Amino acid sequence: MATWAYLNFQDSASPLMEQLIFFHDHIMLVIVLIVTFVGYMMATLFFNSLINRYMLENQPIEVIWTSVPAFILIFIALPSLRLLYLLDEVNNPSMTLKTIGHQWYWSYEYSDFLQVEFDSYMVPSNELEVSGFRLLDVDNRTVLPMNTQIRVLITAADVIHSWTVPSLGIKADAIPGRLNQSSFLINRPGLFYGQCSEICGANHSFMPIVIESTSINSFLNWISLSIEASP
């Protein structure tokens, strides 16, 4: 998760987030080169007192400063389109998680496993354990298996919310009356934190998301215990 004064992306926990970070670095390299070149040209113009009074137009220069930005935009657009289609792709998911946004908490349904479902509320500061994170920990974590293709169906019960987990590269709107779909694969165990990213009312800042990534065996044990504990 991100810490104070941390300006970069969170460490990736999914292949999609790795691709997003690579694309960000790609764009930043292009921007740095452009800013350096334009800054150098502006500096030379500021400190050059000589002008060419007879140069009214120059066709080769105009062709260059039109074609070079066009090639740069293509150089940016191709990986951007590839990544855009990758983010929308859902390839043979092994399990489905349904997420429902409420004012102001999340509900989860594991419909593949005899309707295991629960609500996930933020833990208040006065009930927080010493090892907990203020405004980020929840009473019921969303347990998911790692190295498994997971499909998430996202909707809302009242107003528009947004289910977002930065380290997984997931951000999808939860809209009442509509099912949005996303897919991801978690490639390492751990706790991954997120929050609602759509202003949804007075307690918008108090409906966090916690994904607990475990091995498949641990996940199946948790599912078994959840089924036994359900009425």
Identify the structural domains of the chain with CATH numbers, from first to last.
15-88 (no CATH), 95-229 (2.60.40.420)
pLDDT one-digit tens code per residue, 214-224: 999 998 888 88
Question: What single string gives the DSSP state of each residue in 134-189?
Answer: TTT-BSS-EEEESSSEEEEEEEESSS-EEEEEGGGTEEEEE-BT--EEEEEE--S-
Give phi and psi for 149, each to the nearest 5. -75, 120
CA 67/CA 119 separation, integer angstroms: 55
Beta bridge partners of 109: 98, 117
Contact 72, 31 (CB under 8 A): no
More confident residue, 218 or 87: 218
pLDDT one-digit tens code per residue, 15-51: 989 999 999 999 999 999 999 999 998 898 888 887 7
Determine the distance from the C-alpha atom of residue 21 to the mean position of all C-alpha atoms in its chain, rounded to a whole number. Answer: 11
| Rounded (5°) CA angle 224-228-231 | 140
Q: What is the pTM of this model?
A: 0.81
